[in-house]
Amino acid sequence: MKEIYMKARAKVNLNLEILEKRKDNYHNIKSVFQKINLYDEIYIQKSDNDDCQIQTNVEELNNKENIIYKAYLKLKEQNPNIKGINVKINKKIPMQAGLAGGSTDCASFILGMNKLFNLKLSKNQIKEICKNLGADVVPCLYNRAILAQGIGDIITKINTDLKYYILIIKPEISCNTKTIFQELDTRNDIKQIHKSEEIINALESNNIEKLSHNLYNVFENVIKEKEIIQNLKKELIKNGAIGSAMTGTGSCVYGIFQNKEKAKKVYNILKDKYQIYICTSYNSLREKEF
């Protein structure tokens, strides 16, 4: 095998609870991650050089600070038989949006490299590498709904094939994950709502109404642009979404719709006003696990 193609799927958080700050300065979380059918395309090709050359359609990512390059160095350190590669990334997932664009690229890259170079890494080895590269990377290994706990490294797969339609709006603001976590750490007035069990039950019973009524993200309370986020949620609900929330640490806001026709209608209403994406949930129960 000389090259491989991977789809790196985005995620939305159906709920996001931050439980406590740890001694290592990470935070324990409790969150249901839902993969969606919005994805970046990653092409990995063996080359004659002894380095990783990255080319993307986002100029600011074409450097050695890219998480893909860091993953390449980590893999090469542990597996000397890895040689040079050329990586082409067609980015479709917006950045600083709460959709895990960088993390899912990293997870897919590691899985692709494992196949391309026949590294025969175990699941635990893959997860350990991912864990050391970023908190969202381990959950992005799974192309399905999962419950993520700990620092995102404790995974429980959710048995669901529920397909629902999602509209995602990327406002003209970007959010810095480190900054928004620091803001949350300074707030003692926020009482978090625990929704994981209700959301898991809704997914497993294919109850889209229950799912939509239990969406929750603690960061909606601390984001500086709170009014922008709330107004987007209201607009989605006004146009027919049965539930809406911000994903991750922002800035994207999504709405859940009961059917394709309604989602398409609202997409057409809002597409000239916002940077907007129409997606579906993605639960690949038949896909071979990594």
Rg of the chain on CA atoms, in Å: 19
Let me know if 136 is a catalytic residue: yes
Q: Which of 11, 76, 91, 233 is catalytic?
A: 11
**Rounded to whole angstroms, what are the CA distances from 153 to 29, 111, 132, 134?**
10, 16, 10, 10
Measured CA to CA, the distance from residue 110 to residue 270 in angstroms comes to 37
Let me know if 11 is a catalytic residue: yes
Cα dihedral 196, 202, 208, 209, rounded to 10, equals -80
**Rounded to whole angstroms, what are the CA distances from 222 to 226, 254, 287?**
7, 18, 38
Q: Which of 40, 76, 105, 136 is catalytic?
A: 136
Sign of the alpha-carbon torsion through 118, 121, 127, 133: negative
Residue numbers annotated as active site: 11, 136
